[in-house]
Amino acid sequence: MDNYQKLCHLIDKYCDANGAVRTDVEPVWMYRSTGPTLKVPTIYKPCLCLIISGSKEVTLGQDVYRYAPGQLLVASVDLPLVGHVTTATEDAPYRSLSLDLDAQVLGDLVSRMDINLAGDGDSVRGLFVEQTSDNLVDAVLRVVELLECPEEIPVMLPLLMREVHYRLLRTGKGALIARLAMGGSNMQRISAVLRLMKDNFHKPLSVDDLASHANMSPSSFHHHFKQVTAMSPLQYQKRLRLTTARQIMLAEMKDAASAAYEVGYESTSQFSREYARMFGAPPMRDITAILNNPNHSPPVGA
């Protein structure tokens, strides 16, 4: 049995027939679907995603990323994305894993490795698809196999996750991840601003204040921000707010007015207009359609 077959077996064992599970191995999410899913906005945090069977499509702004077994998708910063499963059947389900990335672990590894970081003057997109490696898949398998030996998790998980980060840095685009871990790099400064925006998305936004936080001029900040996220700071904040509101309505069954207020909108009518423009229908009609669809995809990164 090869590593992909072993991972299929573990996902089938520990994940529901259709749905997402945060496993007892805390950095690991599992996802399984027996059919294509709706396009669902999700806020990804830094993570490594591996498809074990089936395929998926993810959109960032106008950029479309497609990946399948043998490829990995990495979100190196917090990003509001839209994803959906494109290939899945009852007999051949979609199966995937998502592992949270740790900037401290990356930083420590980068300081010990010889990685070519030339060209850091400009920023790069905070999302990419890359061919995976046998060593990386093997390291991920050993992390997931800790589910079979829970008593080993406290000791072995930090060691195995460190190897996953190392193997990721050794992939073809490892230098892009390494830039994120470099203190003072443009990528690292934009990443810090994105975390600040994510934690305070419900508050008024001042681009000048964000540029100051990044220690950049407003024009330089706007350029690097768009390079990383494929959108402007105002567009990013709007996507954060509307995506979070949608998740609140789905998970907590709150009405549109309550969700709008919770994410920082003062006007319910403005919220409804912007929501309809982004998702194609007014809030409650959209939520009802999702809940009535058997292929509703939960908001997870995998």
Could you tell me the two tokens for 39? 């396009």
Quick one: pLDDT at residue 7?
97
Q: Is residue 301 part of a domain?
A: no
CATH no. for residue 105? 2.60.120
As for how many domains the chain has, the answer is 1
Quick one: pLDDT at residue 121?
57
Domain that holds residue 143: 3-180
Quick one: pLDDT at residue 173?
83
Q: Is residue 148 part of a domain?
A: yes
Quick one: pLDDT at residue 118?
58
Quick one: pLDDT at residue 300?
53
Q: Is residue 253 part of a domain?
A: no
Spatial distance between the Cα atoms of 115 and 112, rounded to a whole number of angstroms: 9
Q: Is residue 13 part of a domain?
A: yes
For residues 207 and 224, the answer to whether their CB atoms sit within 8 Å is: no
Output the CA–CA distances (angstroms, integers) from residue 291 to 61, 94, 229, 282, 286, in the order listed.
Answer: 25, 20, 29, 15, 9
Q: Is residue 194 part of a domain?
A: no
Quick one: pLDDT at residue 253?
87
Q: Is residue 297 part of a domain?
A: no
Q: Which residues, given as ranges, of the chain have pLDDT below 50? A: none
Q: Which amino acid is at 271?
A: F
Summarised one tens digit per residue, pLDDT across range 137-164 is: 999 999 999 999 999 999 999 999 999 9
Q: Is 135 exposed, middle or buried (0-12, 13-18, 19+ CB in 10 A)?
A: middle
Q: Is residue 231 part of a domain?
A: no
* Plot region of 253 (φ>0 → left; ψ -120 to 50 → alpha; else → beta): left
Q: Under DSSP, is residue 250 helix (H, G, I), strand (E, B) or coil?
A: helix
Spatial distance between the Cα atoms of 96 and 11, rounded to a whole number of angstroms: 8
Spatial distance between the Cα atoms of 17 and 13, rounded to a whole number of angstroms: 9
Q: Is residue 94 part of a domain?
A: yes
pTM recorded for the entire structure: 0.88
Summarised one tens digit per residue, pLDDT across range 37-54 is: 888 888 898 999 999 999
